[in-house]
C-alpha cells in the first residue's frame, strides 16, 4: 500500500479545512453520535457525515474477517468517527471480502452478508462493531456462523424474524459480490485500505489518542 505523509500533516489539513462553525448548520450538535449520521447507500457503502460535508473524504475498505481491520477500527477508526461527528470529514465505509482461501473467505462472506441485512442506519454501526468484537480466528472453520450472526443482531437491537433468511438469500449474496467487485475496480488489493481524498494513507501509526 502506498504511504503518504504522516498523520500530523493529515490532521493539520483536516483542521484547516474544517474550522469550527455554527453547529446549527449541520442540524445536530457536535456532541451527537456517529450512529445519528449514518446513511446506507444503494451501492452498499456506508457514509458517516454531517449534512453538506463531503470533503475531505476518508474511504475505508475493510473485511470483517481481517484482523488488521479490527485493529484499525479499535484505534484510528474511532478517531475517524470523531472527526466525522465534528464535521471535519466525510467517512465512507466499504465492507468487502478480500480473502480467497477457505475458511476465511466463507467466514468473511457470511459476515458481509449479515451487515448488508442491517437496514436500520441507526443500528448499522453497532452491528458493524459487534462483528469485529466477535471476529473468529482466520483458521476457524465455520466462523461467523449464521446463528451467531442472528444472535449478534438481537444483541444490537435488530429484529431477527427474517435475519437468517436474509443472510442466506441469493439477493444478499449478489449484493455482497457486487461490493467486493467494486472494491477490486477501485484497485483495492488488501485490507484495510484507507484513502484520504483518493490517496492511500498509513493507517497503522496512531493518528491521535483514541480516548480523546
Dump pLDDT digits (tens) for 118-174: 999 999 999 999 999 999 999 999 999 999 999 999 999 999 999 999 999 999 999
> What does the alpha-carbon distance between residue 108 and residue 112 come to, in Å, rounded to a whole number?
6
Give the pLDDT band of residue 28 (cuts 50, 70, 90): very low
Overall average pLDDT of the 177-202 stretch:
97
Classify the C-alpha dihedral 144-145-148-154 as positive or negative: positive
Cα dist from 45 to 19, 70, 116, whole Å: 27, 18, 10
- Return the CATH number of the domain spanning residue range 32-200: 3.40.30.10
pLDDT at 31: 57
Flag whether pLDDT at 77 surpasses 90. Answer: yes
> pTM for the whole thing?
0.84
The four Cα atoms 170, 175, 176, 180 give a dihedral, to 10 degrees, of 140
Dump pLDDT digits (tens) for 135-147: 999 999 999 999 9
Question: How big is the chain by its Cα radius of gyration, in Å?
Answer: 17
Domain boundaries, the chain: 32-200
Amino acid at each position: 500500500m502506498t504511504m503518504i505523509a504522516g498523520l500530523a500533516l493529515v490532521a493539520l489539513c483536516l483542521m484547516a479545512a474544517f474550522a469550527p462553525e455554527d453547529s446549527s448548520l449541520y442540524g445536530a450538535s457536535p456532541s451527537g453520535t456517529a450512529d445519528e449520521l449514518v446513511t446506507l447507500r444503494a451501492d452498499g457503502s456506508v457514509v458517516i457525515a454531517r449534512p453538506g460535508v463531503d470533503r475531505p473524504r476518508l474511504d475505508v475498505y475493510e473485511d470483517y474477517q481481517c484482523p488488521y481491520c479490527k485493529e484499525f477500527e479499535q484505534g484510528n477508526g474511532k478517531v475517524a468517527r470523531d472527526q466525522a461527528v465534528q464535521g471535519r470529514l466525510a467517512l465512507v465505509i466499504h465492507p468487502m471480502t478480500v480473502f480467497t482461501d477457505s475458511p476465511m473467505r466463507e467466514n468473511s462472506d457470511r459476515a458481509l452478508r449479515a451487515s448488508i441485512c442491517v437496514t436500520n442506519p441507526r443500528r448499522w454501526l453497532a452491528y458493524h462493531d459487534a462483528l469485529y468484537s466477535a471476529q473468529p480466528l482466520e483458521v476457524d472453520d465455520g466462523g461467523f456462523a449464521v446463528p451467531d450472526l442472528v444472535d449478534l443482531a438481537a444483541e444490537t437491537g435488530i429484529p431477527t424474524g427474517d435475519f437468517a433468511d436474509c443472510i442466506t438469500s441469493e439477493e444478499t449474496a449478489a449484493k455482497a459480490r457486487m461490493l467486493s467487485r467494486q472494491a477490486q475496480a477501485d484497485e483495492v488489493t488488501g485490507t484495510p485500505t484507507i484513502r484520504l481524498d483518493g490517496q492511500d494513507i498509513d493507517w497503522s501509526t496512531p493518528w491521535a489518542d483514541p480516548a480523546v
